[in-house]
A and B are shown apart, each in its own frame.
Chain A
Amino acid sequence: MTATVSDATADGPRVPLCELRDIKVAFGGLHAVDGVSIDLYPGEVVALVGGNGAGKSTLIHTLSGAHPADSGQIIINGQPAVIHNPRDARHYGVEVIYQKLALADNIDAAGNVFLGRELRSRTGALDDEAMASATQKVMQRLNPRFRNLKTAVKSLSGGQRQSVAIARAVHFNARILIMDEPTAALGPAETAQVRDLITQLKSEGIGIFLISHDIHDVFDLADRISVMLQGKLVGTVNKVDVTKDQVLAMIIMGKKPDEVTEEQIASLHDS
């Protein structure tokens, strides 16, 4: 937790938290991800953007263990990592917050925070009280107004559900956090809440891959932006060096900021 945010993109001797090198995934004949390399430093948010079917989710699934890569390397803290399933990914400190909020609706907040990693007493029984108490502590940090520890999460608001999903990652000391469309299901107030959370997690030195359709979210939150098109990486840019239009040109035409003309950018607005 020693990283600082300001120089996250500077070249230096610092080791990236995580590197994906030359990742390839094919479904039948379709190259969903075709030789993509990206990296992530501590305390940094890297946005992964692209149209539908660009391969963002498939790429990130190789890191989360949801769908292993056909070839390529995953390096975490400078060491090669072997990730075959979600359990392996968690072992390396990779936690995922899914687009559809992967929560068990009929179970309470504590049950969801510890889902798959329940605390147990000496007899092997679930230690619900220890889990509730730990959840209460994490929640005080994330969302002090959160009170509904005993109710099934299905009756919580979108923002509260998102807090539960994030609490799950935070409690288990995630080093690398993958957020897949974290604000897609939320209203404006709740979106603001999630943005605050992301800022706080960054300040704690956690690296975040942010998958998003929302160019405003991306510009608000990300330090660097990696753009994918048809399974290939168009390029990775520093947010401060580019305009939204230039990023749109990368997403739609697959052209880097130095390859694109004024007319082409203008044509984006016409269509």
Chain B
Amino acid sequence: MRDFVSSNGIDTRLVGMVISLAVIWIGFHALSDGKFITSRNLWNLSVQSVSIGIMATGMVFIIVTRNIDLSVGSLLGFLGYTMALVQTDGRISVLGVNISVENLKVHRCYTWIAALAVGLVLGALAGLLQGSIVAYVGVPAFIVTLGGYLAWRGLIFRTGGKQGQTLAPLDDTFRYLGGAPERSLGEAKTWIAAVLVCVAIVFSIVMARRRRQRHELALRSRSTDIGFAVGGCAAVLAGVYFVAIKYKSPQTGDPVGLAYPVIILIGVALLMTYLARRRRFGRYVFAYGGNPEAAELGGINTRRTIVYTYMLMGMLCAVSAAIQTARLNSATTNLGVQNELDVIAAAVIGGTSFSGGIGTIPGAVLGAVVMQSLRSGMSLLNIDSPSQDIVVGVVLVTAVAIDALLRQRRRASVFGALGAGAVVAAWVIQTGRP
């Protein structure tokens, strides 16, 4: 098994995570008398994981380059509030500066695009500012983004001239980003999306094989490639069917289909994976994380690379902010509070290492799903939120302990750490049940 996994370029950490996730799901399914692995619950889980999942992919690049971003929750709040202002007032005023975005909304049906554009641009600028201070001034990332954590949240109250009044309602089209059952893809579009993903899987496997053939490099066996293609497509189609098609709308009885935010998360994850593995920028991010000196001596513009990681993070905050505000149909001042901790935890549970150079995008998304599964499962068991925090904390530390032990090649101790973490978490869950 191990030989098969390593010789075919499969990430062993990822396999471990999928297995842990399966264990968590089956465990909660048993404890909740079969309420966990149901279409409705998994559909909700998919939507609830999106916001943290999207930001976690950006946090991977930041932690891989040995930095941190504590400001994402506050930045998300600020960007969400600004995007809501575009939709409600059509005007942004920050610290006495007034910017009218009325012109951007040439027509009512462009309002959501204008809001999203403003959010993405401001997010990128915020990242440019924080990243430049980290990379060019040399202030530790922890401090810069701690400043951002305070400043962006405070800025919400100085934006829009309303002392942080809740902004609602939002643009009708914009609300599709939020992922309510009645604003989802529906049956036909869901199948089209699923088939497109399958085509993409087959295409990427075929292209990879052709490129290797052209350069006369060793090939994976044909049957392995076919196995991956068939297995991947089957998993996608089965998952989509079980989660999105089998879940029928309570009002109409029609299949709900995938939620738009889930499509966005898939798109973001694919794009970020492409950046990480196939673009120079991603190569430099990982090279710098593995050995900053070597990257510098290799002639890489390491400072610019770091600034880009923060700009990307800022833009992903905007995407998540759009999803969260659209879901609530309003923007409040406490939007995104504590999200920075969930995002960092998701990236770390997903195998991103604080020692730099190690981390994957699918891992981070899985990390977000693992965290949300724990919370959602415990909610099903009526376990209160403080107890949930204890469990998530235990899982976080256990995940990092396993990572540390693996890197020290102490394989036997891994099971000890896993067992200890699982026992403590199970004990907290069991004793916390009403």
B-binding residues in A (CB < 8 A): 66, 85-87, 90, 96, 98, 100, 102-107, 111, 115-118, 120, 124-130, 132-133, 136, 150, 152, 154
Contact = CB atoms under 8 A, between A and B. Distances in A.
Name the interface size band of chain B. Answer: 20 to 34
Interface of B, secondary structure class, is: helix
B217 A90 contact: no
A133 B218 CA distance: 10
12 contacts: A104-B286, A104-B287, A106-B290, A111-B287, A116-B295, A125-B274, A128-B211, A132-B215, A133-B215, A133-B216, A133-B217, A152-B290
Contact of A125 (B212, B279, B294, B300): B279
B357 interface: yes
B351 interface: no
Nearest to A123: B278
B114 to A, nearest CB: 30
B298 A129 contact: no
Interface in B271-300: 274, 277-280, 283, 286-291, 293-295, 297-300
A117 B279 CA distance: 12
Given A102-B298, A116-B295, A116-B300, 6 more contacts: A102-B294, A104-B286, A104-B287, A115-B295, A126-B280, A128-B278
B215 A104 contact: no
Interface string B139-167: 00000000000000000000000000000
Nearest to B214: A129
B18 interface: no
B215 A115 contact: no
Nearest to B7: A150
Contacts of B280: 118, 120, 124, 126
Contacts of A106: 286-287, 289-290, 357-358
Contacts of A98: 297
Contacts of B216: 133
Contacts of A127: 211
A127 B216 CA distance: 14
B212 A129 contact: yes
A104 B279 contact: no
A109 to B, nearest CB: 13
Given A106-B357, A111-B283, A125 B278 contact: yes
Contacts of A115: 283, 287, 294-295, 298, 300
Closest 7 CB pairs of A and B: A106-B290, A116-B298, A133-B215, A104-B287, A116-B299, A102-B294, A115-B298
Contact of A117 (B278, B290, B299): B299
A87 B302 CA distance: 13
A90 B279 CA distance: 22
A126 B283 contact: yes
Contacts of B214: 129
Nearest to A133: B215
A103 B279 contact: no
B212 A102 contact: no
A105 B291 contact: yes
Given A104-B290, A111-B287, A96 B297 contact: yes
Contacts of B298: 86, 102, 104, 115-116
Contacts of A96: 297
B162 to A, nearest CB: 45
A90 B357 contact: no
A107 B286 contact: yes
B294 A129 contact: no
A102 B288 CA distance: 11
A102 B215 CA distance: 27
A136 B212 CA distance: 13
Interface string B193-229: 0000000000000000001101111000000000000
Given A107-B286, A107-B287, A133-B215, A126 B278 contact: yes
Given A130-B215, A132-B215, A103 B283 contact: no
